[in-house]
Structures are given as structure tokens and as C-alpha cells.
Amino acid sequence: MLLFVGLGNPGAKYARNRHNIGFVAVDEIARRHGFAPWRRRFQGETSEGALDSERVILLKPATFMNESGRAVQEAASFFKLGAGEVTVFQDELELLPAKLRVKVGGGIAGHNGLRSISAHIGNDYRRVRLGIGHPGIKDLVHAYVLADFAKSDGPWVAALCEAVADNAALLAKGRDSTFQNKVHLAMQAKGFFDKDDSSEKPD
């Protein structure tokens, strides 16, 4: 069994925020793979299903972002899962919009959701980093992540989350590099990247 966690803030007020792209990604996984209806538990909402032959629990914490670790720890403890069986889908300022990277462990780069999760279960979980771009000035970051995506962002946000969902079984199988490459190729095929763009190489 695996735990896939989407990060975001609960409530309609935040639904379209850049900070909530993790919620959008796991919603799309649930939709595309016919997961069970969402239900309230573990200080959040969960949906259960299978990716290939792997049983997966999707979790959207209902705590605010900076307390996400409480929900993750409760779910992980219930299912007796270690950090290595947890995957977190997060917004990433340090990647250009529509880019994606997968990594295990590492720094949290000031992300309050990751800080909370690391404090509760340790740091050795997998992160699917969904690029949202950076406002360019550090003092603008807080307002930027809590602002809605622009209307013009809609096509790439939808395409990225669809590509993540389409290839999610690769994550479930631990084929992180293949997953990352498949998502990049899907985005390239839809015209979001140039063919000579080499930035999909692991960092």
C-alpha cells in the first residue's frame, strides 16, 4: 500500500490558488483511475483505489498547509506506512510553470507543507514537484502562492495534472525517472516545451 498526498489549503477560497496544485493533481488521479468517492478521515479527505496492481490511498489534508504533517502522520500510522511509502504532490517555486521533477528527501526550500510533513514523519518521502514559477522577488512569494492561477495558466495546469494522472502507475511502481520523462514528453507533445529543451534532465 502507498499513500499519495496532495498539498493545498482547504475550502473554496483557496481552490484555484497556485499553492493548491497538489490537490488538483490527486483529484485528477482519482478521476482518471476510478478511485472511490472522497470521504473525511485522518484530518483530511481520502480516496482509495489501485494503480496497476498497487493499492493507493489518496489524501488531501483538511488542515491548513502549515499543519499538513498532522494528517499525513495519522494516515501513515493507521496503515503502518513508512516515509518511503509516502509520495507528496507539491507546488514548486523553483521550477518553471508546467515543469515537473521527482525527488526523494532533500531540502524543503521554505515550503511550509513539506516542513510540517518532515517534522512528523521524517524527510525521506518522495516529492513530486509541480512547477509554478517564481514571482522574482522573495517578498512577493507569499502573495504569489496564495493567488489564483491566471486564466492563461489553465491549459498547462490541466495538461500537467492529466499527464501526472495518466502516468501515476509508474510512480506506484517506483519508476520515478520513467514517470518524469513520460510527463515531460506528454507536455512537449502538447506544445508546452520546445523539442530541444533539455531541462527535463534530473537535477
The CA-atom distances, in angstroms, between 29 and each of 50, 119, 136, 153, 171 are 10, 27, 31, 20, 12
Q: With 0-12 CB in 10 A as exposed, 13-18 as middle and 19+ as buried, what is 3?
A: buried
Terminal Cα-to-Cα distance of the chain (whole angstroms) = 28
Count CB atoms within 10 A of the CB of residue 184. 21
Tell me, yes or no, if 19 is annotated catalytic.
yes
User: CA–CA separation, 20 vs 148, rounded Å?
Assistant: 9
Q: What is the DSSP letter of 53?
A: T
Q: With 0-12 CB in 10 A as exposed, 13-18 as middle and 19+ as buried, what is 199?
A: exposed
**Side chain identity, residue 193:** F
- 34-55 per-residue burial string, b: 16 or more CB within 10 A, e: under 16: ebeebeeebbbbbbebebeeee
User: CA–CA separation, 203 vs 51, rounded Å?
Assistant: 27
Could you list the active site residues?
A: 19
